Structure formats: structure tokens, C-alpha cells
Amino acid sequence: MDQSKRVIFVTGGVLSSLGKGIVASSLGTLLEKEGLNVTIVKADPYLNIDSGTMSPYQHGEVFVTEDGAETDLDLGYYERFLNRPMTKQNHITSGKVFFETILRERKGDYLGGTVQVIPHITDEIKRQILNQPVDIDVIIVEIGGTVGDIESLPFLEAVRQLRFEIKHTLSVHVTLVPFIETSGEIKTKPTQHSVKELRSLGLNPDLIVCRSSVSLPKDHRKKIALFANMHPDCVFENPDVKTIYQVPLILQQQGMLEKVMDKLSLTAKNKVVMDDWKRMVESIIHPLHEVNIAIVGKYSSLADAYKSINESLLHAGIALNAKVNIHYIPSEELEEDGHSIDERLQQFDGILVPGGFGERGIKGKIATATYCRINKKPYFGICLGMQLAVIEYVQNVIGYAEATSAEFNPQAEHKVFHLMTDWIDDQNHVQQRTEQSDKGGTMRLGSQLCELQEGTQVYNIYKRKEISERHRHRYELNSIYIDQLQKHGMTVAGYSAHQHLAEVIELSDHPWFIGTQFHPEFQSKPTQPHPLFVNFIKTALEIKSS
């Protein structure tokens, strides 16, 4: 075992959604600013192998990594806070751990032994946690769920063993310290209980981060420290803030970085400078402009379903000193009262139609594309949003009223989008995945190169010919329609470098009507906003103020 690596475990107590991911990411940001190579691993106790088959209603969006893993949305936070891209190795699930172990058992690798949770499952968890690139100095491991859940027990047992086996580890416990409005009291009891629970599993926290709606008085800090067997300066607070990007600054102000470095016997390489980060936060808190963007989607009741898109819009706002107000419009509502679409949509400065699967709600999205095309409203179509913009064009401009995607009607005469079955696994640029539910379909996943056509609007936005963007879809623009589309004014502005598949469309007689087959939202960071999002918001702002 490589004893030079430091491992930080982040667990959560009391209840879920306390922002363990933000704490882990913020710690990552600070350690990276120290000059250390940091990565973050999410360990999810559920039995799904990955997040690919999970409904965004339950777990929020599926985040896609460069190497094509379909992961938990927390990996999106990790990428937005860190400089290093996440990979398949950064997401562990019980499903993945059990699957590997059972495969090994079938191969006879256990040589007649009984295969058990301890040590075989815990060994596999430990192997997957430590399976990180050699240059990594610090691995932060976020354990999903809450301490006390039955299903996370093998993970916590693996953490206990690792703490014994690795020289420099740290256990950070994120808990809730509720403030009772009626009595004006701050309650530390839930934290005491969750520390007790953690201890019963053989884990002593080194640091505690308290989520609270109010600032934690010294006495309460002392009390928590006493129960948790630690010094009061090991208890940190993470109060409600205007933006999650404040969290690294708040933790730094309380001296958390020094504490972590000290406990892990790390010596400072750099003086941590957070100036760029502070400027970014300042621009979120004090914007000069405002813009209203509608997301017309299927999962509009759950903001997490479009997490990376929301973030990308926010990042574009940071670059332009603008507050981007996001309004979710369920596309099904637009279907029901078609006559009022103009009324519903005209108030927005730009409209984004995100990705999605299945037929539900597509009529409303097609009507949205029609509205934006005719009324010159900025339109950003991502994946399914791009496909529907093309279908709308074929239906209403070229005139094939029944045009659709094979996803919605495999028997249709005009299948403008269809399945490509002759995939070439060219240097792993195309990943294959078969789902039980999907009649053996293939999914294009992960980063692929795309070549932009010089002179197009998109080329001028990226200012580059070759770009790399992430994919997660099955259907492709049927090339037999490309000539007709171009003749009628819809330009194919980019093709995949390896298979020459249409990737980007735009309308030239429109201020901003762009659709991408890929998902640009997976690459935007607050400190490096994505050019397409920035240009979309810039145009929306310009039109608004003209």
C-alpha cells in the first residue's frame, strides 16, 4: 500500500442532502490551491452498477465523465470545484463492488473459499477507492447516504480498515445542527447521536462540519467537541450561504485547510491564493444585470434533474456579471394549451430545451422550437433539444409533417433521427452499452472530437476548429436530410471527427438558434464558463436591453 497518499473520508450524519459533496469539493479546492493533486471518489451504497439507468426524479441528473461513465451528480460538483476531470474510477457503487466480486467468484478466483462481505466485499471497496492515478497526493472519499443506513455498512467497515492500514487518513463528519425557530434554540443532540453511531462502527471523526441555518455559538462548538472527543477548533460550521461557491472561502476563514494539512502531516507548498475564486463569488453575489431564461423540459419539477445546465447558465452569468433567473416550464403544459405558448414564452430572454429520453412532452418542446424560430427568440437545444429543433424544421419548413425520430416511431416514413447500428469502436471513442429495457440499442457516451465548420456562428463562438464534448444519446441525425436542411437554411455547423455524424446545427437568419447533439453543460466551471452558454446569455442580455 502506498503510504504517501493521504485519504480523507467524508461521512454524513442525521439526514441526507446536507451538502457532503460541497464540503468534499470545497476541501478539494483548498488542497488543490495548496499545490496538491487531489481527486474525489463518490461511494454510493445503492445496488445499481452506475447511475445510467436511474430516473432523474430520484437522484437528479446523470453526470457523464470524459471516459463515458454515467455517474452521480456529485461528480459534477467535483469537476466544477477541481481542475482534474473525473473518471470511471471516481464513482463506486455497491452494485459495482458486488458485481466485480461475484464475477471473480464465478471464475474460481477465491479457490474454494467462502465469499463474504468481510473481507471480500470490503477488500474490493478498498481496492476501488485506492485505484487512482499514481500522481494523486490526496484522495477524498465521500460516502453516500447517512451513517446508520444498513446498506452503507460495508463501506464504513472498509473505511475503518483503511484508517488502520494507511498512515495518514482523516475522518470528516458532516452533520446537521438544527435551529428551532419557536424556541430560538440550537440543538446539538442529533450531532451527538450521529457521532455515537459513527463510533459504534469503529470510526472516530477527526473534524466535524456542522450545517446550520445560524452561526454556531462558542459554547455549542465546545459541547459538540466534548462529545466527539476533539478540540473545539476541530468543529467547523457551514452556515446557509448565497452560493455554494462561498463554501471553500468559509471553510478557509475558519482555518480548516491548516487543520487538515496538519492532521495529515502535509507541509504547505504554496501560499493559498483565492483571489480568482473570491472575484467569482463576488460577481454571483453582486450582479449588475439580470436575464430570464426558461428551461422547457420533462423533469421541470426537480431542479437537480438539470443540475449541470443550471450551473452552466449560472457560470455564464458570472462571466457577464449577470444574474440568470431560471424558470422551469414542464413541456407537457405547453402541449395542453397550445394557443397560449406565445404568452407563456414571450416573457423570457432565452429558451433552453435540454436532453431527455422518451416521447412524453415532446410536442410542447417542438412547439417551443417553432415559437423561438419564428419569433427570433434565442434557442439553445441540447441533445434531445437539438433533435427536436431539427425535426421541427423538417416538419414545418421542409414540409414533411410526419417527420420524427425513430425513438418515437420506428415505423415512420421520415425518420430524421435514427439508430446507427454500425458503430466502430474506434480507439474507444464509441462506447457500447446494452440495457435490458432497450432492445439492444447503443449509446454514444463520453468525450468525442467534433470538427466545426469555419465561418459558422458556432465556430466563431468556440474560436476553434476542433472541440471535444461529452455525449449521452442513441439517435443520430439521418444524413439523407442534411442537404435539404442546408438548402432550407439550417446549417450543420459541426461533424464528429471520427464518423462524420452531424453534431451541431444553427440558423443563420436568427440571432441565436443553436442545437448541439453533445452536452456542453458537463464541461462548464464557475472559473471557466462554457463559451456556448456565455454567448447564449450574452445574446439574451443584448436583445433584452435593445
Radius of gyration of the chain (CA): 25
- Would you call 520 helix, strand, or coil by DSSP? helix
Q: Running DSSP on this structure, what letter comes out for residue 338?
A: G
Please identify, among the stretches 45-53, 74-82, 333-341, 352-360, the one whose residues bind ligand GLN according to the rule CB under 6 A.
Answer: 352-360
Whichever of 277 and 306 has its CB closer to ligand GLN, that residue is 306
Task: State the CB neighbour count (10 A cutoff) for residue 538.
Answer: 18
Whichever of 248 and 515 has its CB closer to ligand GLN, that residue is 515
Whichever of 237 and 407 has its CB closer to ligand GLN, that residue is 407
- Would you call 530 helix, strand, or coil by DSSP? coil
What are the backbone angles phi and psi of residue 167, rounded to the nearest 5°? -65, -50
Whichever of 198 and 384 has its CB closer to ligand GLN, that residue is 384
How many residues line the site for ligand GLN (CB under 6 A)?
11
Which is the catalytic residue, given 383, 414, 510, 530? 383
Which is the catalytic residue, given 392, 473, 521, 530? 521
Among candidate residues 54, 42, 51, the one with its CA nearest the CA of residue 82? 42
Q: How many whole angstroms separate alpha carbon 454 and alpha carbon 494?
A: 9
Least distance (Å) between residue 384 CB and ligand GLN: 3
Site for ligand GLN in 463-502 (CB under 6 A): 472-475
Least distance (Å) between residue 477 CB and ligand GLN: 10
Among candidate residues 54, 28, 494, the one with its CA nearest the CA of residue 247? 28
Q: Is the CB of residue 441 less than 8 Å from the CB of residue 467?
A: no
Minimal CB distance to ligand GLN: which residue? 355
Q: Running DSSP on this structure, what letter comes out for residue 360?
A: T
Whichever of 233 and 438 has its CB closer to ligand GLN, that residue is 438
Q: How many whole angstroms separate alpha carbon 232 and alpha carbon 212?
A: 17
Which is the catalytic residue, given 220, 414, 519, 530? 519
Name the percent of the chain in helix, strand, coil, to the closest 5: 40, 25, 35
Burial 201-213 (b: 16+ CB within 10 A, else e): eebebbbbbbbbe
Q: Is the CB of residue 350 less than 8 Å from the CB of residue 380?
A: yes
Please identify, among the stretches 52-60, 85-93, 149-157, 355-363, the one whose residues bind ligand GLN according to the rule CB under 6 A.
Answer: 355-363
Least distance (Å) between residue 472 CB and ligand GLN: 5
For ligand GLN, the binding residue among 76, 355, 378, 531 (CB under 6 A) is 355
Least distance (Å) between residue 70 CB and ligand GLN: 11
Q: Running DSSP on this structure, what letter comes out for residue 27?
A: H
- Would you call 353 helix, strand, or coil by DSSP? strand
Longest dimension (CA), the chain: 76
Least distance (Å) between residue 328 CB and ligand GLN: 17
For ligand GLN, the binding residue among 21, 56, 297, 356 (CB under 6 A) is 356
The three cell numbers of residue 443 are 449509446
Confirm or reject binding of residue 377 to ligand GLN (CB under 6 A).
no
Whichever of 31 and 485 has its CB closer to ligand GLN, that residue is 485
Binding mask 158-197 for ligand GLN (x = CB under 6 A): ----------------------------------------
The three cell numbers of residue 427 are 480507439
Whichever of 27 and 383 has its CB closer to ligand GLN, that residue is 383
Among candidate residues 474, 425, 522, 450, the one with its CA nearest the CA of residue 86? 522
Site for ligand GLN in 378-417 (CB under 6 A): 383-384, 387, 407
Whichever of 198 and 445 has its CB closer to ligand GLN, that residue is 445
Least distance (Å) between residue 314 CB and ligand GLN: 21
Can 79 be counted among the known catalytic residues? no
Can 542 be counted among the known catalytic residues? no
Q: How many whole angstroms separate alpha carbon 272 and alpha carbon 29?
A: 10
Least distance (Å) between residue 264 CB and ligand GLN: 40
Whichever of 110 and 357 has its CB closer to ligand GLN, that residue is 357
Q: Is the CB of residue 295 less than 8 Å from the CB of residue 322?
A: no
What are the backbone angles phi and psi of residue 51, rounded to the nearest 5°? -90, 0
- Distances, alpha carbon 448 to alpha carbons 53, 196, 294, 466, 488, in Å: 22, 48, 28, 10, 28
Least distance (Å) between residue 513 CB and ligand GLN: 18
Among candidate residues 109, 185, 123, the one with its CA nearest the CA of residue 158? 123
Please identify, among the stretches 184-192, 272-280, 350-358, 445-453, the one whose residues bind ligand GLN according to the rule CB under 6 A.
Answer: 350-358
Can 383 be counted among the known catalytic residues? yes
Confirm or reject binding of residue 307 to ligand GLN (CB under 6 A).
no
Least distance (Å) between residue 473 CB and ligand GLN: 3
For ligand GLN, the binding residue among 328, 357, 408, 423 (CB under 6 A) is 357
Query: Which positions are annotated as active-site residues?
Result: 383, 519, 521
Residues at the contact surface with ligand GLN, assessed by CB under 6 A: 355-357, 383-384, 387, 407, 472-475
